[in-house]
Amino acid sequence: MRIRATLIFFALFALLAAGPAWGQEEADPLDSYGLWPTGPEAPWQVVSVSFKGFKAVTPDQARSVLEYKAPAGKLLPRPLPYDPLKVQRDLRRVALLFKEQGYFQAKVSVELKRHPADKTMRMTIVAQQGPPTKVAEIKLLWPDEEIRQLWQPLVEKLLHVKVGRRFVLSDYELSKQEIVKFFSNQSHPTTKVLGQVQVVPQEQKAVVVLKITPGPRLLFGPVEVKGNRRIGQKFIKDEKSFSKGQPFSLDAMEQTQQALLDSGFFAVVTLHPLYGRIEGNMVPILIEVRERPPHSIQLRVGWGNEDRLRLGVQQVNRNVLGINDTFTIEGKVSAIYLGMVGALKVPYIFNRHSTSVTRGGIEQADTEAYINNRLFINPAVEYRLDKDWSWFLGYNAEVDRIRELKTQVSDPEYEKQAFFISSFPMGVVYDSRNSVLDATKGSYFRLEVEAAFKALGSEIEFIRPVADWRHVRPLPWKRCYLAFRATAGIAYALPGTRKIPLIRRFYPGGADSVRGYPWQKLGPLDSSGKPFGGESMATGSVELRFPIYKELGGVVFVDAGNAWDDVLSQDLGVIRFTSGVGLRYNTPVGPIRLDFGYQINPPDNALEDRYEVYLSVGQAF
């Protein structure tokens, strides 16, 4: 027994000594050069990743799914050990991207360029995308023939996948979402859409099958509110865009959510249809909110060519008076402005569409023509007609005194006197833009007319209409847009008023006006080049916006306009044109703008250069 045990021991020892032969992993096909370390020797290091043959899938899209992350066209932030298993996973992810774009026969491989001296390598991911798979047929399946005849013509218009076009997974998913949204706005929010894509890679064809089961027709039921503390349930319920018994609509839910967010009282608003508690055909709605703090302070810092460094602080007080009011105090300081302004906003003056806004404060404006001190109060009523249109009517009382007159005028004593202006500002606003800071589609129009009369106690009488129109149109190319802007204004002195004072004249030119001219210096100038403004003004711009790289974009623009000393002296022959280029870099607070504008037809004997460079934050329009 002792001899047998000894023999077994030596047999096991021999097997263990030979263990690595049967314990090794199977060779990796990506490791044909023996790059995977088999001992304590240092592993190969990947220093860069590049792409070749990428068309339907861009290098940026492929880079976003890789474990080997690298900035575009640059080395890795730090060399990474070569791992063939990680590379295999990356190749599978990239191949999946091609399938999502309709290239089911795409082949993705890797090329390794080795540098034995320092054991580094450069990795190139190579794609052969092959022929696209196109949609050969779209089948819509319905519960019965009656439902099919009723809905299929409408649903077919919603589909983003089209017969004869390349199959794209995002279009397929978007089609399903659009169908659900459509039925939700047709009072069928519980509609089910199941999809299947049958792909035959060898024939480069795909058959899309969508099974659509419209749910029952539902109405809005009672509304419950949860999460409110200081804001009453009545205010929240009054903001809803639907009432009990109305047909269910997803759009009405979204409008309610946006209205509550726009009130400024809530940080989060969600609406939940309670399908588990349907009674009859009425579905209860739960509005869940999270209130903002009653007091908040916001600091603001910015920079621009005209105002240089600008600093601001805003303090917001919510529901201080207990009438769902918002009281805001804001102070600003820059090279051209110093002021403190307060605003009290109270909703529901007449109904849920009307809001009272009272503004007042003291300001000092340092312009190219003068330095003016202004004390004012401006109560107004704003009335929203729908989600885009609104109108306003208010009263304005202000005292203006020019403390320093910079431009040469024929009657300086007239300009330096203290003016009391009592006027009615009124107007309409249309706004369908998708963003205030950086719109990519939609329009904005504002027409404001200020009328001042001595019957109101005003020391000067005038009518001053000003119109501002802006529009952004997406182009067929990705992230390319065409933007338009037009502004016009007239300040007309009524009988009994000798002329329009400087504080109500127009001063075009600058980064947000006609680029290529210095700030406020397009129009009538004195002998030293200082503006004294015009009684009428018109400007316009056309701008092409396009991407350059990631968040960096470019623009090419043509601006035009002028200001005229007298309302009746407008001469279209002296419209000044400029053109230029610019750069945009997107940030959370809007794009940083760098523009270069050049004067095409400058005035004779102009004192300023024919070009201007502008740096600021936010789109020009």
pLDDT of residue 4: 45
Residue 355 belongs to some domain of the structure = no
Q: Looking at the predicted structure, is the pLDDT value of residue 400 above 60? A: yes
The yes-or-no verdict on residue 99 having pLDDT over 90 is yes
Nearest to 84 by CA among 134, 132, 46, 53: 46
pLDDT at 1: 45
Query: Is residue 439 in some structural domain?
Result: yes
Residues 61, 150: one domain? no
Same domain for 138 and 124?
no
User: In the chain, what's the furthest Cα-to-Cα distance?
Assistant: 132
Annotate 218-238 with b (16+ C-beta within 10 A) or e (fewer): bbbbebebebbeebeeebbee
pLDDT exceeds 70 at position 23? no
Mark whether 61 and 159 lie in a shared domain.
no
Q: Which of 266, 291, 316 is the last residue of a domain?
A: 291
Of the candidates 291, 314, 344, which is a domain's last residue?
291
Query: Three-state secondary structure along 438-468?
Result: CCCCEEEEEEEEEEECHHHCCCCCEEEEEEE
CA distance 209 to 434: 34
Kindly state the average pLDDT of the residues 39-59: 84
pLDDT tens, position by position, 108-160: 999 999 999 889 999 999 999 999 999 999 999 999 999 999 999 999 999 99
Model pLDDT, residue 34: 46
Task: Looking at the structure, tell me whether residues 231 and 114 fall in a common domain.
Answer: no
Residues 465, 549 share a domain: yes
430 shares a domain with 561: yes
Q: Does 187 fall in a domain?
A: yes
Task: Provide the pLDDT for residue 241.
Answer: 92
Report the predicted TM-score, pTM, of the whole model to 2 decimal places.
0.79
pLDDT digits (tens, 9 = 90+) for 329-379: 999 999 999 999 999 999 999 988 999 999 999 999 999 999 999 999 999
Q: How far is CA 137 from CA 144, 162, 367, 441, in A?
A: 20, 8, 66, 33
Predicted pLDDT at 575: 93
The region, left, alpha or beta by phi > 0 then psi within -120 to 50, assigned to residue 130 is: left
Same domain, 103 and 206: no
* Residue 266 sits in the same domain as residue 202: no
Residue 540 belongs to what domain range?
A: 405-617
Of 103, 128, 153, which closes a domain? 128
Instruction: Work out the pLDDT band at 31, boundaries 50, 70, 90.
Output: very low
The amino acid present at 491, given as its one-letter code, is A
Q: How confident is the model at residue 72 (pLDDT cuts 50, 70, 90)?
A: low
Domain co-membership, 103 together with 154: no
pLDDT digits (tens, 9 = 90+) for 525-560: 998 999 999 999 999 999 999 999 888 999 999 999
- Number of Cβ within 10 Å of residue 160's Cβ equals 15
Whole-number Å distance between alpha carbons of 395 and 436: 26
E strand spans, 348-491: 354-366, 370-384, 389-394, 396-405, 419-431, 442-452, 462-474, 481-490
We report the CATH number of the domain holding residue 231 as: 3.10.20.310
pLDDT of residue 590: 65
Q: Among residues 501, 582, 573, which one has the least CA distance to residue 541?
A: 582
The answer to the question of residue 276 being in a domain is: yes
Residues 69 and 185 placed together within one structural domain of the fold: no
- Asked if residue 461 is part of any domain, the answer here is yes
Q: In total, how many domains does the chain have?
A: 4
Q: Are 122 and 46 found together in one domain? A: yes
One domain for residues 123 and 251: no
Report the relative pairing of strands 134-141 and 370-384 from DSSP bridges. unpaired
> So what's the pLDDT on residue 417?
87
pLDDT band at 444 (very low <50, low <70, confident <90, very high): very high
In a domain, 58, yes or no: yes
